[in-house]
Homo-oligomer: A and B are copies of this chain.
Amino acid sequence: MTIKRSLLAAGVLAALSGPAYAGSEIETLINMLHENGMVNDDQYGRLMAELKQNQAQAKQEKQQVDAKLAEATKPSDVEVTVKGGIGVKTRDGKFESKLGGRLQADAASYSGQPEMGDGSEFRRARISYSGTMYNVWDFKLEYDFASTGSNGRGITDAYLAYTGFEPMDITVGNFKTPFSLDYLTSANNTLFMERALPNAFSSGRKMGIMASNETTHWSWATGIFGDSITNKGGQNDEGWGATARGTWAPINDGVHFVHLGLGLNYRDTGDSGKVGFDSEAESHVSGVSIIDTGDITSVADYYNIGAELAAGHGPYSVQGEYITTKVNRNNGKDADFDGWYLQAGYILTGETRQYKNGVMGGVKPSSIVGEGGYGAWELALRYSSLDLSDAGIDGGEADAMTYGVNWYPTPTLRFSANYVDVLEVDGGPNDNDEPSVFQVRSQWAF
């Protein structure tokens, strides 16, 4: 019979090609029984009708389950993370906000002259709120509760940035003037508790507008800056300046890097006509400066030029800078000051100090305390020198050797001990003094 043969053929086909749906054997069986005359045509018709109806219903139910499963297993629109800081971002990357913080608790003990009071302090105690809006607008507001005062003192980073241009980002607000590797490296990540003596020349955070870009091997930034936030000038025009920095990393592969940098910082002192440079003994607790020009008056403007060098090779890192400063005065002789430092670190536990975007990063321990590990351990040594005496200005000159050890129990924690040996102060208010400092810090940051 034609029909039987074709049904048989269909059955063979089904067996060869695989069944079209789960439970197809029942259809095959019914067809066979009909073919074999075990069910009559009427029964066959009823069975096939019921079968088709059930198949349709099963298919629909399966689709419903699949739809619900798809809904249930799709990622949420918003992703929340916590590793100390809290982060929230939309899955499409359009919005992201992060709450972070850091705490640095220091204690210091001083020997020798000048007299510096032993004690303790919070070096930094910050909360930050940062993120991205509508894909291309970044924002940040950070406040330092350890550095409070009037007129917004305590605001550190506070800016809006547009990242939608290909060649560069544009940043407006208060942020670090892009000058000096030591200064631009986050205080969470500096090799020692305090930056080297030539940090006296860093321009600090200022309100301004900056263009910048970073790649693996190059970075540049240039901006125009007003004065510090806390300067409420009244009738006086505030100071202003322009800064530029470029860096080149011919090698930067995550384990090895070589960094070269050059920076220029120009400042007009505004209607005040004053500038001063000073430095503590690489220690902040007592607040006593060992060399200090005091206020230099009748200043038209001044500029700093800095050259940077750094390199890393696995657990080894070295870093050095030379900065020279020229002060142009309307009355009185122009003055030249300069300083330099060279420092080296070695991570006993073998981790690599990070380098990215033209600045130094931190150390991420591969063994974590709290997960059965012991953290990362680092030894560090630095020589730094700063000369603030010239052209009748007797700020003094100082050289210091600093010995440090850092322990990173987790990626968010750091404990440091530093011994600063000021070799000799030449000139200035503390001529011939040779103070030394022992200081410790505990830090959490995220």
Contacts and interface: CB of A to CB of B under 8 A. Distances in A.
Contacts of A342: none
A232 interface: yes
A201 interface: no
Interface in A26-68: 26, 28-30, 32-33, 36, 38-40, 43, 46-47, 49-51, 53-54, 57-58, 61, 65, 68
A444 interface: yes
B57 A83 contact: no
A207 interface: yes
A331 interface: no
B32 A43 contact: yes
Interface stretch (A135-143, A256-264, A385-393, A421-429): A135-143
A349 interface: no
Given A131-B84, A160-B103, A26 B26 contact: yes
Contacts of A444: 133, 137, 139, 160
A125 interface: yes
9 contacts: A14-B50, A19-B54, A23-B58, A71-B73, A76-B76, A82-B88, A86-B86, A133-B444, A137-B413
Contacts of A76: 76
A368 interface: yes
A235 B127 contact: no
Nearest to A409: B137
A288 to B, nearest CB: 6
Given A19-B57, A29-B47, A38-B38, A235 B286 contact: yes
Contact of A117 (B28, B82, B83, B233): B233
A105 interface: yes
A369 to B, nearest CB: 7
Contact of A233 (B47, B154, B286, B371): B286
Interface of A: 11-12, 14-15, 18-19, 22-26, 28-30, 32-33, 36, 38-40, 43, 46-47, 49-51, 53-54, 57-58, 61, 65, 68-69, 71-73, 76, 78, 80-86, 88-90, 95-97, 99, 101, 103, 105, 107, 114-122, 125, 127, 129, 131, 133-137, 139, 141, 143, 145-155, 158-160, 164, 172-174, 207-208, 226-227, 229, 231-238, 270-271, 285-288, 368-371, 409-410, 412-413, 442, 444, 446
A237 B288 CA distance: 12
Contact of A99 (B65, B99, B107, B442): B99
Nearest to A46: B15
Given A57-B19, A84-B97, A133 B46 contact: no
Given A95-B84, A227-B120, A143 B145 contact: yes
